[in-house]
Structure 1
Amino acid sequence: MNSRRAMPHVAISALAVNQPRAMVGFPRNEGDPVQRVLNQVSDELSRITGEMRNRVSETQRRLEELETRNRDVEQLLADAGRGGRFSSGASESPGEIFVRSDAFRNFGGSAGRGVVSAVVQAITSASTSAGGMIAPDQRSEIVGLSRRRLTVRALLAPGRTNSNSIRYARQTTRTNNADVVTEGGQKPESVLAWEEDDAPVRTIAHWVPVSRQALDDAPMLQSTIDGELRYGLQIKEEDELLLGSGAGQHIHGIIPQATAYETSRDATGDTAFDTLAHAIAQSEVALLPATGIVMNNDDLEAIKIIKDGNDRYIGGGPFGPPITTIWGRPVVGTPAMAAGEFLVGAFLDGAQIFDRLDAEVLVSSEDRDNFIKNMLTVRAEERLAMAVKRPAAFVHGSFPYAL
């Protein structure tokens, strides 16, 4: 009982003895100071009794919980001693492995003296450990193979057609006999001749099979396939524009129709730049000034490191700009051109492309047994013709030595 509610230093029994007779047997007076003290004492005893009862109940509950845990631990240790797995069904922890080890059981038999050790396997990211719990960081972009730069089409004159063939008349002869004549004299006759030529529209196409599930589950896949198929058309187109034989369904390309380089122009000590200058001069003589140069990529890179007699770079050197022109003509590199060869020409005047069908990519299930296999066919196709109207506008040759 705290000091605030301490009873007065008066014995209750003494009060009862000394109480006046007139007050004995009368009903209890709540306003009496003594009675108030008695009431306070009774209330305090009731409060203390309630608190003690609650504390006893809480203590009993905790003891029961400890007893339950103790039984669980005893059961786990008993299972471990029999070599069994813990009943939780989870993977063994390092502590569980230690308890089940022979070293721990032998340690108990030696009265607990000495040092006990057990090998516990570390948790790693291997597939047999925690690897299955580690989710990969999946990236949505698709990393494709490298692509080559396409250059030849940009050099040629563009055009379109609604037919399957381009027919045109090409002049083959111009014999100019114009001359001065006397009055009444006969005028000289010149000779002009043309021939009809034809550039048929050719088809370039390819396709790939793909499952419907792949296209549905990977939205980026369709656009990737679209881009890859279109790129494949462009690669084949560039090869045909330069090298097509014209036989069968091939385009009749520029190089098979070009004028051969006149090697009589070569001189001792000529560099690659000299050879290209001779080819440009040959086109000038044909009255078709060259507007561009096409080379193999390796050759174009090789001429960057040509040096003079004082070991100085002819071009801009390692810190100069890339080579985009030679002798004032644009130069492009392409793997379609064979190494060691070159093509100089008046590209805009000498040849023209006629597009009949721009590159398109179509997806269809109407192919063989695609429907029952849930497969799709993705097809890319383009149609075009090229007319080399002036073969003399192009000069094709080889460098006199390896670059």
Structure 2
Amino acid sequence: MSKLKMLQDSAQAAAKSAREIAEKAAAEGRSLTADEKSDYDQQMAKGRDLLEQIKTAKADAEVLDQAKSLAQDIGGHAVDDLVLQKSADNTEKRMKNLGLEVVSSPQFKSMLSPFKNADGSIHIPDRASVKSDPIKLKSLFTGGSGTSAGAFVVPEQTGIIEMLGRRTLTMRDLISVRRTSSDTVEYVRQTAHTNAAAAVPEAQSAAPIDGTTVTNVTGGLKPEGSWTFERVSTSVKTIAEWVPVTKRALADAAQLEDLIRDELEADLAEAEENQILNGDGVGENLTGILNTSGIQTQAFDTDIFTSVRKAITKARVIGRVVPNGVVLNPVDVERVDLARENGTTGRFLGAGPFTMGPRTLWGLPIVESEAIPEKTGLVGDFAKAVLWDREDATVTFSDSHADFFVRNLVAALGEERVAFGTTRPTAMVETTVAA
């Protein structure tokens, strides 16, 4: 079956399906339902698309017929396949008509005339030497040349701008987030607690002396506890980044401004997550959880599972919290997922590759973050880590930087202002999860 016949059959089938949908609704005296309308539109669109393909196929067939007719008029086998060829994927492509121009030239016909038989056929002896006079060729219009028909081919602008991938950010959703209207945040942290509570006997008195009512009282003394507090303050820090851009680029590319805003805000968010975990508190850096004085540590023990379990115990017994998550680098999460019984020949220790849903380790959600170093885990109650938003991430544009005004440049500046603190350091346990 020819390609044209297949297209015609498919188009007729689409038109028939659309007609049957409309006729059914008309016979029942009602309007098309939403599903019927969707099916009707789909079949009509398919039919219109096939109709355009049919028109193109017919036009190609006409060109092929004309070329074959011309080749028959010229005679010989030199032009049989010069008009069209089929590619490996069975699609037809037009070839250059250079061959037709050569065999139609007077020089080519003059070269063959000595070998022409009475019936019009041409026979060239095996050892004959054949040479034509120089053949002048007219300019050939080709779609592949930028100086020919290709100059009229206009590239289609899809509007797609594919940026590099971004890491998944998780820490802001895990910790506590509050707002502040000040540049300095203070909170009170308990540093020591002596629990002296005990059962106390009732006070008693001795026998009267010389008939008087004076007594010696014994017992009933209550024990005194001891609590110690400290005031902790943390300053609001600025996380910022800027990029230069020309005014012309902003004016010509409508989506460029939005793209710059999105990328700057994403850069700030990545920097923020890194600060929450790894900030060293030096200069304008936040003091991240892993660099907070007083957090607990758990050395590697046997494997990642044993190490994390012991960290959970420390958080419960010493930190006096119920841990609500374990933060791991994706490389270490992979180690958890691929752990098997008896090396690589046994079953997966975990849920395996076909289970959907959140990962857990000892009942705690596994939180993946690329900001935490490999072989390091963090177990704790993350409500005890607080981020205060002073100023949400904003992006502004200005030409007042350096000589940008006279150069028609603009500085796109993204910044946010935040403060961060671990209110109870012992609630966090830094854990080594690999040898």
> Normalising by structure 1, what TM-score?
0.68
What is the match of residue 370 of structure 1? Answer: 404
What is the match of residue 363 of structure 2? Answer: 328
Q: Which amino acid aligns with 1:337?
A: I
- TM-superposed CA distance for 1:208, in Å, is 0.6
Q: Which amino acid aligns with 2:312?
A: I
- TM-superposed CA distance for 1:400, in Å, is 4.1
Check conservation: 2:298, 2:430, Cα contact below 8 A: no
- TM-superposed CA distance for 1:243, in Å, is 0.5
User: Secondary structure of the equivalent of 1:242?
Assistant: helix
What is the match of residue 162 of structure 2? Answer: 143
What is the match of residue 90 of structure 2? Answer: none
Whether 1:361 aligns to 2:384 is: no
What is the match of residue 391 of structure 1? Answer: 425
- Output the CA distance in 1 between the equivalents of 2:295 and 2:112: 105
User: Secondary structure of the equivalent of 2:415?
Assistant: strand
- Aligned with residue 317 of structure 1, among 341, 348, 352: 352
Q: Which amino acid aligns with 2:178?
A: G
When residues 119 and 285 of structure 1 are mapped into structure 2, their CA distance, relative to the original with a 3 A threshold, is: farther
Aligned length: 302
- TM-superposed CA distance for 1:320, in Å, is 1.7
- Aligned with residue 324 of structure 2, among 257, 277, 291: 291
CA offsets 1:306-339 (integer angstroms, 9 cap, x no match):
1113700112222222552222212111111111
- TM-superposed CA distance for 1:122, in Å, is 8.6
- Give the aligned CA root-mean-square deviation in angstroms: 2.9
- TM-superposed CA distance for 1:260, in Å, is 3.3
Whether 1:306 aligns to 2:342 is: no
After TM superposition, list the pairs within 5 Å mapping 1:3-402 onto structure 2: 94=98, 98=102, 112-114=113-115, 116=132, 123=142, 125-127=144-146, 129-182=148-201, 183=203, 184-185=218-219, 186-257=221-292, 259-263=295-299, 266=301, 270-286=302-318, 287-309=320-342, 311-321=346-356, 323-348=358-383, 350-401=384-435
- TM-superposed CA distance for 1:358, in Å, is 0.3
Q: Which amino acid aligns with 1:180?
A: A
Q: Which amino acid aligns with 2:228?
A: A
- Output the CA distance in 1 between the equivalents of 2:278 and 2:307: 22
- Output the CA distance in 2 between the equivalents of 1:312 and 1:271: 17
When residues 106 and 167 of structure 1 are mapped into structure 2, their CA distance, relative to the original with a 3 A threshold, is: closer
- TM-superposed CA distance for 1:127, in Å, is 3.6
In structure 2, list runs of 5 or more residues that go unmatched.
1-96, 116-129, 204-217
What is the match of residue 212 of structure 2? Answer: none
CA offsets 1:212-265 (integer angstroms, 9 cap, x no match):
1111111111100100000000000000000101111100111112623333x9
User: Secondary structure of the equivalent of 1:158?
Assistant: strand
CA offsets 1:147-193 (integer angstroms, 9 cap, x no match):
11100111111100000010112111111222334424443332211
Check conservation: 2:246, 2:408, Cα contact below 8 A: yes
Q: Tell me whether 365-374 or 355-364 shows the greater mean CA deviation.
A: 365-374
What is the match of residue 8 of structure 2? Answer: none
What is the match of residue 122 of structure 2? Answer: none
When residues 400 and 141 of structure 1 are mapped into structure 2, their CA distance, relative to the original with a 3 A threshold, is: closer
- Output the CA distance in 2 between the equivalents of 1:308 and 1:119: 80
- TM-superposed CA distance for 1:124, in Å, is 5.0
Check conservation: 2:176, 2:386, Cα contact below 8 A: yes
When residues 400 and 369 of structure 1 are mapped into structure 2, their CA distance, relative to the original with a 3 A threshold, is: closer
Q: Radius of gyration: which is bigger? A: 1
- Output the CA distance in 2 between the equivalents of 1:316 and 1:187: 55
- Output the CA distance in 2 between the equivalents of 1:163 and 1:334: 30
- Output the CA distance in 2 between the equivalents of 1:176 and 1:298: 43
What is the match of residue 35 of structure 1? Answer: none
> Normalising by structure 2, what TM-score?
0.64
User: Secondary structure of the equivalent of 1:344?
Assistant: strand
Q: Which amino acid aligns with 1:272?
A: I
Check conservation: 1:304, 1:315, Cα contact below 8 A: yes
- Output the CA distance in 1 between the equivalents of 2:256 and 2:237: 29
The 4+ residue runs of structure 1 with deviation greater than 6 A are 119-122
What is the match of residue 66 of structure 2? Answer: none
Check conservation: 2:298, 2:307, Cα contact below 8 A: no
Percent sequence identity over aligned pairs: 34
